Amino acid sequence: MKAQVLLPKIFNFPFTYNSKLQTKVGDLVEVPFGSKKEIGVIWKNNYQEPSNLKIKNIIKKTEYSIDKSMIDYIEWFSSYNIVPIGLVLKMAIGGINKFLKKEDNQIEPKKTKISLYKLNNEQLEALKFLEKINNKFDVSVLQGTTGSGKTLVYFERIKKIIQKNKQALVLLPEIFLTNDFKLRFADFFGYEPAVWHSKITPKQKRIIWKGLINNKIKILVGARSALLLPFKNLGIIIVDEEHDASYKQDEGVIYNARDMAISRASFEKIPIHLVTSVPSIETFKNIYNKKYRHIKILKRFDNYPLPNTKIINLKIDKAKNKYIAHQTTDLVKKYLNNGDQVLFFINRRGFAPYLICRKCAYKYVCSNCSLYLTFHKIKNKAICHHCSLEKDLNIKCKKDEKCEFIMYGPGVEKIYEEAKELFPGKKISIFSSDYLNSKEKTKNMFKDIKEKKIDILIGTQMISKGFNFPKLNCIVVIDADFSGRGYDLRTTEKNIQLYHQLSGRAGRFSSESLVIYQTLDPQDLTLQELIKNHSEKLLRNELLLREKNNLPPFIRLVAVIVSSKDRSLSLQGAREIKMKLNKINELEVLGPVDSPLLKIKKNFRSRLLIRFNNRFIMQKKIANVLNGLKISSKIKLTVDVDPINFA
User: Does 151 have pLDDT greater than 60?
Assistant: yes
The one-character DSSP state at 482 is: -
CB distance 85 to 255 below 8 Å = no
Q: Within 10 Å of residue 177's Cβ, how many Cβ atoms?
A: 21
Confidence of residue 606 (pLDDT cuts 50, 70, 90): very high
User: What is the structure's pLDDT at 485?
Assistant: 54
Q: Distance between CA atoms of 208 and 70, rounded to whole angstroms?
A: 18
The one-character DSSP state at 35 is: T
The one-character DSSP state at 461 is: G
Task: State mean pLDDT over 466-485.
Answer: 80
Q: What is the dihedral of CA 158, 163, 167, 171, to 10 degrees?
A: 10
Q: Which residues pair with 297 in a beta bridge?
A: 144
Beta strands in 520-619 (DSSP E): 555-564, 588-600, 603-613
- Beta sheet of 36-43, edge-to-edge order: 15-18, 2-6, 36-43, 27-33, 60-65
Q: Distance between CA atoms of 204 and 217, rounded to whole angstroms?
A: 12
Q: What is the pLDDT of residues 505-525, one digit of tens each?
A: 776 667 788 999 999 888 988
Q: Distance between CA atoms of 233 and 65, rounded to whole angstroms?
A: 13
User: What is the structure's pLDDT at 198?
Assistant: 85
Q: Which residues pair with 274 in a beta bridge?
A: 141, 239
Q: Distance between CA atoms of 612 and 584, rounded to whole angstroms?
A: 11
CA contacts within 13 A on the Cβ side of 109 = 20
Confidence of residue 301 (pLDDT cuts 50, 70, 90): confident
CA contacts within 13 A on the Cβ side of 150 = 27
Task: State mean pLDDT over 552-575.
Answer: 94
Query: How far is C-alpha 284 from the geometric centre of its chain's CA atoms?
Result: 19
Domains and CATH numbers, the chain: 2-101 (3.40.1440.60), 121-299 (3.40.50.300), 304-348+412-546 (3.40.50.300), 350-409 (no CATH), 555-641 (3.30.70.600)
Q: Within 10 Å of residue 303's Cβ, how many Cβ atoms?
A: 8
Name which of 136, 226, 126 is nearest 173 in CA terms. 226
Q: Within 10 Å of residue 609's Cβ, how many Cβ atoms?
A: 17
Confidence of residue 568 (pLDDT cuts 50, 70, 90): very high
User: What is the structure's pLDDT at 469?
Assistant: 79
Q: Distance between CA atoms of 136 and 127, rounded to whole angstroms?
A: 17
- CA distances 590 to 479, 574, 644, Å, are 34, 11, 16
Backbone angles phi, psi at 299, to 5 degrees: -90, 145
Residue 105's contacts (CB-CB under 8 Å, 6 or more residues apart) are none
User: Does 99 have pLDDT greater than 70?
Assistant: no
Q: Distance between CA atoms of 173 and 468, rounded to whole angstroms?
A: 16
Least confident of 205-219, 294-308, 586-600, 615-629: 294-308
Confidence of residue 484 (pLDDT cuts 50, 70, 90): low
Name which of 252, 211, 250, 253 is nearest 232 in CA terms. 211
Angle, helix 619-627 to helix 68-81, in steps of 10 degrees? 70
AA identity, residue 465:
K
User: Does 592 have pLDDT greater than 90?
Assistant: yes
Question: How far is it between the farthest Cα atoms of the chain?
Answer: 83
User: What is the structure's pLDDT at 77?
Assistant: 97
Least confident of 44-53, 265-274, 372-381: 44-53
Residue 180 vs residue 610, higher pLDDT: 610
Query: How far is C-alpha 276 from the geometric centre of its chain's CA atoms?
Result: 14
Q: What is the DSSP string of 545-562?
A: HHHHTT-TTSEEEEEEEE
User: What is the structure's pLDDT at 104?
Assistant: 66
